[in-house]
Structure 1
């Protein structure tokens, strides 16, 4: 049963949050990169992108938490499906977010696929196009102002529509304290995970594309 759901867009510290939640005992945590290990759910996300009904308990079966795309695109449906789940909205400076997303996850989504591309990678990438880049951003992510408007509109909608008692607005640079206070668990005596290095993300995603590896990138 999903206990914690992150509604922040990709490249707002979602991979760091995933690792933090798992360190705190709320794993496994669903994340876009995990779809390479759970390929059967890719079709469910594609159905959601088409507006078809989706059994969210099936999508998140076996997960205690979830962050990042593609879930953030369906935050209203998922928070309604799991009304007891606590919600975390990761934020980042809009300009820094756009620069990071443009050079990493968007670049990976639109780069030409080699003829011998791994079929699973191709399926996940097409799903990300359907859900995120053509869905959430309406095919206009390269229009910087449009993308920033979507990003800021998402943040405003989450804050407006969700019960504040259920919601933590969080920047990963704040570290363990606000997150652990919100979840009611002690803070570990170790650095907060940092997994937002753009170059490392891009390099490891390229390895997934080339080799069809199911290994999760480390941040």
Structure 2
């Protein structure tokens, strides 16, 4: 199996809902940050990459039919080259809506990460992700850095990926544009909705209290 779908959108753009939808449509398993936390083979790949190693992306994503969310979204360009037949789904939302969600979840997590009581393997994963994502992709904590990185990524995707290969998407668009793009029939039922703020913090034992 090789990737058929590459997700280029940052976390907090509906990536969990999109993961669930892609799996429902038969494009799974879909790689997501939760896979890095749950698949024991994954953390070593991303630590090696954050430390400067070159990876065999086919090996990293072996067994996955699709990828959305960080950390894969941090390397979407590399993946688009490694998997030239894969389609690119760029999840996106208005930037102030994205910042409101990001700052209450991912941004807050990394602000308080060192004070959280995390199992050592999970703490090690997010030590890697701090280096790869916060210091690397985002350029540090704070709204200005985050929004600049968000805009930059959105622009780069549009400039880099050909229009026939790209879908700019948000889960509120529903099944039709996604299924049209993937050339599959839309299923019955509502589009999945998941990964609200409380679901995010449940992964880490609860939200830290701000000082």
TM-score where L is the length of structure 2: 0.92
Displacement of 1:116: 6.1
Cross-structure match for 2:48: 47
Cross-structure match for 1:29: 30
Secondary structure of 1:5's aligned partner: strand
Q: 2:187 matched to 1:188?
A: yes
User: How many residues of Structure 1 are paired with residues of Structure 2 in the alignment?
Assistant: 206
Displacement of 1:35: 1.2
Structure 2 residue runs of 5 or longer lacking an equivalent are: none
* 1:50–1:4 Cα change, 3 Å: same
* 1:109–1:116 Cα change, 3 Å: closer
Cross-structure match for 1:95: 96
Kept after mapping to 1: 8 A contact 2:16/2:194: yes
Secondary structure of 1:87's aligned partner: strand
TM-score where L is the length of structure 1: 0.89
* 1:164–1:112 Cα change, 3 Å: closer
Cross-structure match for 1:104: 105
CA distance in 2, matches of 1:32, 1:187: 26
CA distance in 2, matches of 1:151, 1:77: 18
Kept after mapping to 2: 8 A contact 1:98/1:148: yes
What does the per-residue CA deviation read over 1:171-215, in whole Å, with 9 as the maximum and x for residues that have no partner?
11100000000001110110000114112222x122399xxxxxx
CA distance in 1, matches of 2:115, 2:108: 15
RMSD: 1.7
Displacement of 1:115: 8.4
Cross-structure match for 1:148: 147
Q: 2:211 matched to 1:206?
A: no
Secondary structure of 1:207's aligned partner: coil
CA distance in 1, matches of 2:74, 2:94: 20
Kept after mapping to 1: 8 A contact 2:118/2:204: no
Kept after mapping to 2: 8 A contact 1:9/1:90: yes
CA distance in 1, matches of 2:116, 2:137: 28
Kept after mapping to 2: 8 A contact 1:46/1:130: no
Secondary structure of 2:205's aligned partner: helix
